Amino acid sequence: MRLIVGLGNPGPRYAKNRHNIGFLAVDEIARIHRAGPWRRKFQGEAAEASLGPERVILLKPQTFMNESGRSVAEAQRFFKIALADVVVLHDELDLAPSKLRLKLGGGNAGHNGLRSITAQCGNDYRRVRLGIGHPGDKALVHAYVLNDFGKSEEPWVEDLCRAVADHAGLMAAGDDAAFQNKVHLAMAGRGWDDVKAVGKAQGRPD
């Protein structure tokens, strides 16, 4: 069994934020693979799905981003899932928009959700880094990630989440290289080879 976690902040206020692309991707996995109903469990929302022969638990922590680890740890303990079988989908400032990378372990790069999971569970879980680009100035990062995707960004966000969902069976099977390659080819085929970051951060300063 795998635990597939999407990171984000709960509630409609944050639903379309760049920081919530992990939630968006996991929602698309649930839709494409006809997951069971979302239920309030493990300080989050959880659903069961089958990705090919793999049974998985999908989880969206509802603790707010900087406490995500509490939800992940509770689900991991309940199902007795090895840390290497935990997959976390999250926004990545250091990847160009529409790009994806998957790796085991590594640094948290200032991401509060990853920092919380590492503190609660350990560091050697798999991370699916979903590129959102960087606003160009460190002082703008906080507002940038808590701002909604712009209208011009929505098509590639939808296509990236769909590509992740379409090939999630490879991710669940542990075939990371094939998963990355299939997503890359899908995005290239849709014309998303050279997406630029929006480069501005409007909205709330929270």
Q: Residue count of the chain, please give it.
A: 206
DSSP string of 69-109?
A: HHHHHHHHHHHT--GGGEEEEEEETTS-TT-EEEEES---T
Q: For the chain, what percentages of helix, strand and coil (3-state, to nearest 5) are there?
A: 40, 20, 35
Nearest to 59 by CA among 88, 80, 84: 88
From 19, 33, 90, 134, active-site residue: 19
Instruction: Give the chain's end-to-end CA distance (angstroms, integer).
Output: 37
What b/e readout covers 29-63, taking b as 16+ CB neighbours within 10 angstroms?
bbebbebeeeeeebbbbbbebebeebebbbbbbbb
Nearest to 75 by CA among 117, 127, 114, 130: 117
Reply yes or no on whether 19 is catalytic.
yes
Tokens 């740890």 -> residue: 73
Name the 3-class secondary structure at 9: coil
Known catalytic residues are: 19
